[in-house]
């Protein structure tokens, strides 16, 4: 369970690059080093469970946390790839986005809010993600006794053929059809990074026929 973290919150305009790098080093590289240390042992054992700690600040953004958000979303990318590479070794890799009172939140919230956000109310989600029967490539959100799942999805999108639209005009046509492209009806959770290219090629080839 990778849970090391620090905060160096400032708006991007006021943030020093040193603070950006420091947050990335602790959150992202700290998790990378820990995962690397156990990875070969899990491969040899043919079993493993890894939980990475992401955040709603990474999944959805948060003002003043460009460094923290970038690091936390990077951990989701790490989870996605490690889960694929670990599958044949029965290594399951998941991510937890907790909402909890910690030393990082001291003095930032009212006492009654801090009581509702007791860390132990996040633990059930962590235990499920680390259990023998755990899913893999799953992002769970947890806080104050509530639990949700978050997904990175891809819309069905559109295809613009250069047979019909000159390349120089494609951006204009794309802008016109942006609402259709953004329509989330029928969106999907891709199995891997090749799904995008595969879907794009299939749409292009359908146009040819």
**Of 68, 100, 117, 126, which is the active-site residue?**
68
**What six digits make up the tokens of 202?**
């299939």
Q: What is the 8-class DSSP label of residue 154?
A: B
Q: Report the interhelical angle of 66-86 vs 30-45 (nearest 10°).
A: 10
Of 204, 203, 157, which is closest to residue 181 (Cα–Cα)? 157
**What six digits make up the tokens of 142?**
């947890």
Confirm whether 68 is a catalytic residue: yes
Is residue 113 within 8 Å of residue 98, measured between CB atoms?
A: no
The residues carrying an active-site annotation are: 68
């Amino acid at each position: 369970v990778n849970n090391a973290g620090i905060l160096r919150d400032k708006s991007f305009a006021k943030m020093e690059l040193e603070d950006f790098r420091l947050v990335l080093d602790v959150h992202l590289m700290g998790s990378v080093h820990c995962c690397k240390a156990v990875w070969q042992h899990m491969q040899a054992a043919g079993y493993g469970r890894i939980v990475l700690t992401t955040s709603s600040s990474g999944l959805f953004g948060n003002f003043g946390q460009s460094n923290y958000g970038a690091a936390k979303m990077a951990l989701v990318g790490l989870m996605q790839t490690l889960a694929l590479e670990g599958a044949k070794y029965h290594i399951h890799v998941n991510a937890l986005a907790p909402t909890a009172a910690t030393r990082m939140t001291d003095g930032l919230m009212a006492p009654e809010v801090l009581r509702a956000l007791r860390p132990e109310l996040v633990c059930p989600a962590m235990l499920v993600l680390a259990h023998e029967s755990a899913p893999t490539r799953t992002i769970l959100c947890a806080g104050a006794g509530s639990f949700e799942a978050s997904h990175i999805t891809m819309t069905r999108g559109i295809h613009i053929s250069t047979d019909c639209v000159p390349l120089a005009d494609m951006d204009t046509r794309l802008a016109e059809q942006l609402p259709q492209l953004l329509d989330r009806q029928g969106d999907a959770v891709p199995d891997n990074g090749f799904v995008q290219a595969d879907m794009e090629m299939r749409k292009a080839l359908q146009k040819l026929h």
